[in-house]
C-alpha cells in the first residue's frame, strides 16, 4: 500500500501548476506534472526534475490519460486573453474535452478532483463584489467567450459528474493572481506593467484606468487550493479564491512605477471588447469553509514579483511586451 498521496497536476508546468508542484512535494506527495507546453514552460519546473517524487509527462489532456492517482488538480488551460485567443477552438476544447478526460480518470480510479475555474465565469459583472450565487453577465459569442464559456461548461460537467456518479469534486473560482513565473509576455496587467517599468517603456493602460481588479499573490492562492482539496466530501464549491482588496488599474501602474523607480510614462489605449469594469471577490465562503484569507499585501507581493522579472531581464529572457489585459 502506498503511503504518499499520488497527485496529478494538469498544466503542471504553468505559473500556478509549478508553484502547486513545489507545495505538494514539500508535503511528501508524489507529483505527476502533466503539460503539453502550449503556455507552460520547462523553465518553471526544471528545478524539480530529478526530485524522487516528481515526474513530468508531456501530454495534452484533450486526449485520454490512463494513470493511477489519488487526487487531480485540473489547471490546464491558457488563462490570458493573448494566449487563449491565439487558438480559441483549442482553448474551448481544453476546457471541455480536458475536463471530461480528467473527470473520466477521476471516476475510473476513485480520485477526488479540483477544477481551477475562474472569475471570468462572472463576465462583466452587474453585481459587486461577486458572490458565488451570482450567475454572471457573459457574452457567449465574443472574443473572450472561448475561455469564459469553456470554464462555465467545465463547471457544469463537474457538478453533473458529482450528481450522476457521486464523484468528489472541488471547484475554485480564481481571481487575478500574480507572482514569480508569470509569463512575461501574456499581456496580463501585473507582469506587463512590471516589465514595461523595468525597461522604462511606456506603461499601456486600457481606457482611463478606472476599471478595478483584485490581485492575489500566488502563495496565498496555492494555500487555498490545498485547503480546498482537504475539505470534507460535501464541500464541492464553487468557492471564490482571490484577494478582496480592490485597486484601479491606474493605481497599480503608479505603484509599480514607484517600486521600480521607473522613468516610464503612462499612455492610454482603447478599451477592448467585453473587458470587465469591476472585479472583486466576495470570499465569505472561503473564510468559512477553508479558514482561509490572503496574507500577502500588494506592495509585498509586487516587490517579490519585480525581483523575479529583474532576474529574467538580466538573463535576456524578456523581449517585448503586449498591451495588458
Same domain, 57 and 167: yes
Residues 296 and 219 sit within 8 Å (Cβ to Cβ): yes
Over residues 186-198, mean pLDDT? 89
Please write the tens of the pLDDT for every residue from 250-305. 999 999 999 999 999 999 888 776 566 778 899 999 999 999 999 999 999 999 99
> Is the residue at 75 inside a domain?
yes
In this structure, the strands spanning 6-10 and 30-35 are parallel
Preceding peptide of 129 cis, ω within 30°: yes
CATH number for the domain that contains residue 124: 3.40.50.720
Helix extents (H) in 167-295: 189-198, 218-229, 249-260, 284-290
Residue 321 burial by CB count (10 A; 0-12/13-18/19+): exposed, middle or buried? buried
Residues 202 and 267 sit within 8 Å (Cβ to Cβ): yes
Same domain, 86 and 224: yes
Same domain, 52 and 102: yes
Same domain, 222 and 132: yes
Q: Grid coordinates in use for 93?
A: 476544447
How sure is the predictor about 322, in pLDDT bands with cuts at 50, 70 and 90?
Answer: low
Please write the tens of the pLDDT for every residue from 102-113. 999 999 999 999
For residue 123, the 8-state DSSP code is B
pLDDT of 1 higher than 50: no
Q: What is the reported pTM?
A: 0.92
Q: Give the pLDDT confidence score for residue 320 in this predicted structure.
A: 52
Residues 174 and 242 sit within 8 Å (Cβ to Cβ): yes
Q: Give the pLDDT confidence score for residue 86 in this predicted structure.
A: 79
Q: Which residues are catalytic?
A: 147
Same domain, 87 and 48: yes
How many domains are there within the chain? 2
Residues 19 and 218 sit within 8 Å (Cβ to Cβ): yes
Same domain, 192 and 86: no
Please write the tens of the pLDDT for every residue from 9-67. 999 999 999 999 999 999 999 999 999 998 888 999 999 999 999 999 999 999 999 99
CA–CA separation, 149 and 289 (whole Å): 27
Q: How far, in whole angstroms, is CA 130 from its chain's centroid?
A: 17
Residue span of the structural domain in which 54 resides: 6-177+217-241
Same domain, 20 and 60: yes
Amino acid at each position: 500500500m502506498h503511503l504518499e498521496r499520488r497527485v496529478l497536476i494538469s498544466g503542471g508546468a504553468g505559473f500556478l501548476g509549478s508553484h502547486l508542484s513545489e507545495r505538494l512535494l514539500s508535503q511528501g506527495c508524489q507529483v505527476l506534472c502533466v503539460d503539453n507546453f502550449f503556455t507552460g514552460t520547462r523553465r518553471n519546473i526544471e528545478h524539480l526534475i530529478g526530485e524522487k517524487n516528481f515526474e513530468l509527462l508531456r501530454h495534452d489532456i484533450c486526449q485520454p490519460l490512463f494513470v493511477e492517482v489519488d487526487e487531480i488538480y485540473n489547471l490546464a488551460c491558457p488563462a490570458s486573453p493573448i494566449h487563449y485567443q491565439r487558438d480559441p477552438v483549442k482553448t474551448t476544447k481544453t476546457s471541455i474535452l480536458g475536463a471530461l478526460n480528467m473527470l473520466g480518470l477521476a471516476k475510473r480510479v476513485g480520485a477526488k478532483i479540483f477544477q481551477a475555474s475562474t472569475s471570468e465565469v462572472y463576465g462583466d459583472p452587474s453585481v459587486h463584489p461577486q458572490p458565488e450565487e451570482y450567475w454572471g453577465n457573459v457574452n457567449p459569442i465574443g472574443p473572450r467567450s472561448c475561455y469564459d464559456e469553456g470554464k462555465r461548461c467545465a463547471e457544469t460537467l463537474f457538478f453533473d459528474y458529482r450528481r450522476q456518479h457521486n464523484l468528489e469534486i472541488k471547484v475554485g473560482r480564481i481571481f487575478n493572481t500574480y507572482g514569480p513565473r508569470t509569463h512575461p509576455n501574456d499581456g496580463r496587467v501585473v507582469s506587463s506593467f512590471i516589465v514595461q517599468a523595468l525597461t522604462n517603456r511606456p506603461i499601456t493602460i486600457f481606457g482611463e484606468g478606472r476599471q478595478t481588479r483584485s490581485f492575489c499573490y500566488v502563495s496565498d492562492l496555492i494555500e487555498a487550493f490545498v485547503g480546498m482539496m482537504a475539505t470534507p466530501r460535501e464541500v464541492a464549491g464553487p468557492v471564490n479564491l482571490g484577494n478582496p482588496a480592490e485597486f484601479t488599474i491606474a493605481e497599480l501602474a503608479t505603484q509599480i512605477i514607484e517600486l521600480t523607480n521607473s522613468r516610464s510614462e503612462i499612455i492610454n489605449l482603447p478599451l477592448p471588447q467585453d473587458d470587465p469594469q469591476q472585479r472583486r471577490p466576495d470570499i465569505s465562503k472561503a473564510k468559512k469553509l477553508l479558514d482561509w484569507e490572503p496574507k500577502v499585501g500588494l506592495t509585498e507581493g509586487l516587490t517579490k514579483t519585480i525581483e523575479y522579472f529583474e532576474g529574467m531581464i538580466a538573463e535576456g529572457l524578456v523581449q517585448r511586451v503586449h498591451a495588458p489585459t
